Amino acid sequence: MPAKIIMRWNVRPEMESEYFEFLVHELIPAMNKLGINDIQVWYTAYGQCEQKMAEGINESADDLLQVIRTAEWHNLTDKLQGFVLDFSQKVIPATRGFQI
């Protein structure tokens, strides 16, 4: 069964342009390289939750959990956390539509 990783964060105000460069040129390509597909990044326009949410899908929860245990994933998320606050991630069964 496909699995989805959901990540949430708030961008540090002083790091917005650096964050965007990292997102487009490093984070998304690296996620694809690690086998995470159908990557989407959402911006919260209204409400009391994190400013950004990103998600991606893999063929199975076991494969996705294996990916997020790698040194490459830890290095990637550590670098992301230099640009953001309140980072969180979780792996859930993927269903159709928007999931939180």
Both tokens of 64, joined, read 């996705």
Q: Is the pTM of this model over 0.85?
A: yes
Beta bridge mates, 3: 58, 93
The arithmetic mean of pLDDT across residues 41-51, rounded, is 87
Q: What is the pLDDT of residue 96?
A: 79
In tens, the pLDDT along 51-88 reads: 999 999 999 999 999 999 999 999 999 999 999 999 99
Task: Round to whole Å and give the CA distance between 21 and 75.
Answer: 17
